[in-house]
Amino acid sequence: MSLGRTHAEITVALLAALTTSRLAADAHPHADFAARVVGKAAGVDTAVRAAANLAPCRRTGASAEPGTPGRT
Protein backbone atom coordinates (compact mmCIF):
# COMPACT_ATOMS: atom_id res chain seq x y z
CA MET A 1 0.00 0.00 0.00
CA SER A 2 2.73 2.47 0.86
CA LEU A 3 4.56 1.86 -2.44
CA GLY A 4 1.46 2.76 -4.46
CA ARG A 5 0.80 5.88 -2.42
CA THR A 6 4.46 6.92 -2.70
CA HIS A 7 4.32 6.44 -6.47
CA ALA A 8 1.21 8.63 -6.64
CA GLU A 9 2.83 11.35 -4.50
CA ILE A 10 5.95 11.37 -6.68
CA THR A 11 3.79 11.58 -9.81
CA VAL A 12 1.87 14.54 -8.37
CA ALA A 13 5.14 16.30 -7.47
CA LEU A 14 6.42 15.76 -11.03
CA LEU A 15 3.19 17.16 -12.48
CA ALA A 16 3.57 20.21 -10.22
CA ALA A 17 7.13 20.69 -11.49
CA LEU A 18 5.92 20.39 -15.10
CA THR A 19 3.20 22.98 -14.48
CA THR A 20 5.72 25.31 -12.88
CA SER A 21 8.08 25.00 -15.84
CA ARG A 22 5.23 25.78 -18.24
CA LEU A 23 4.36 28.88 -16.22
CA ALA A 24 7.98 29.99 -16.40
CA ALA A 25 8.14 29.35 -20.15
CA ASP A 26 5.06 31.55 -20.63
CA ALA A 27 6.59 34.29 -18.41
CA HIS A 28 3.61 34.07 -16.06
CA PRO A 29 3.82 36.59 -13.19
CA HIS A 30 3.36 33.85 -10.56
CA ALA A 31 5.97 31.47 -12.00
CA ASP A 32 8.63 32.43 -9.43
CA PHE A 33 6.22 31.90 -6.53
CA ALA A 34 5.09 28.55 -7.94
CA ALA A 35 8.69 27.40 -8.37
CA ARG A 36 9.65 28.29 -4.82
CA VAL A 37 6.55 27.16 -2.97
CA VAL A 38 5.04 24.40 -5.06
CA GLY A 39 8.16 23.00 -6.66
CA LYS A 40 10.64 22.95 -3.82
CA ALA A 41 8.27 22.35 -0.91
CA ALA A 42 6.27 19.61 -2.61
CA GLY A 43 9.38 17.90 -3.95
CA VAL A 44 11.23 17.92 -0.63
CA ASP A 45 8.18 16.83 1.37
CA THR A 46 7.49 14.02 -1.06
CA ALA A 47 11.09 12.79 -0.96
CA VAL A 48 11.19 12.84 2.86
CA ARG A 49 7.86 11.00 3.12
CA ALA A 50 8.94 8.42 0.54
CA ALA A 51 12.19 7.73 2.36
CA ALA A 52 10.43 7.47 5.72
CA ASN A 53 7.70 5.17 4.41
CA LEU A 54 9.85 2.86 2.32
CA ALA A 55 13.04 2.60 4.37
CA PRO A 56 13.06 -0.07 7.07
CA CYS A 57 13.43 1.00 10.70
CA ARG A 58 16.86 0.27 12.13
CA ARG A 59 15.61 -1.20 15.41
CA THR A 60 12.78 -3.44 14.25
CA GLY A 61 13.45 -3.96 10.56
CA ALA A 62 9.82 -3.02 9.92
CA SER A 63 8.52 -0.30 7.67
CA ALA A 64 8.41 3.20 9.11
CA GLU A 65 4.74 3.47 8.20
CA PRO A 66 2.37 3.12 11.19
CA GLY A 67 0.16 0.07 11.11
CA THR A 68 2.62 -2.04 9.18
CA PRO A 69 2.99 -5.62 10.47
CA GLY A 70 6.06 -6.06 12.62
CA ARG A 71 6.16 -2.47 13.82
CA THR A 72 6.45 -2.02 17.59
Rounded to 5 degrees, φ, ψ at 45 are -60, -40
Tell me the mean pLDDT in the region 7-26: 84
> How many whole angstroms separate alpha carbon 44 and alpha carbon 37?
11
Total-model pTM: 0.59
Type of residue at 5: R
**What pLDDT is recorded for position 72?**
42
Q: Is residue 68 predicted with pLDDT exceeding 60?
A: no
Q: What is the pLDDT of residue 71?
A: 45
- Residue spans of the domains in the chain: they are 2-54
pLDDT per residue as tens digits for the range 27-67: 888 888 877 777 777 778 888 888 887 777 665 555 555 55
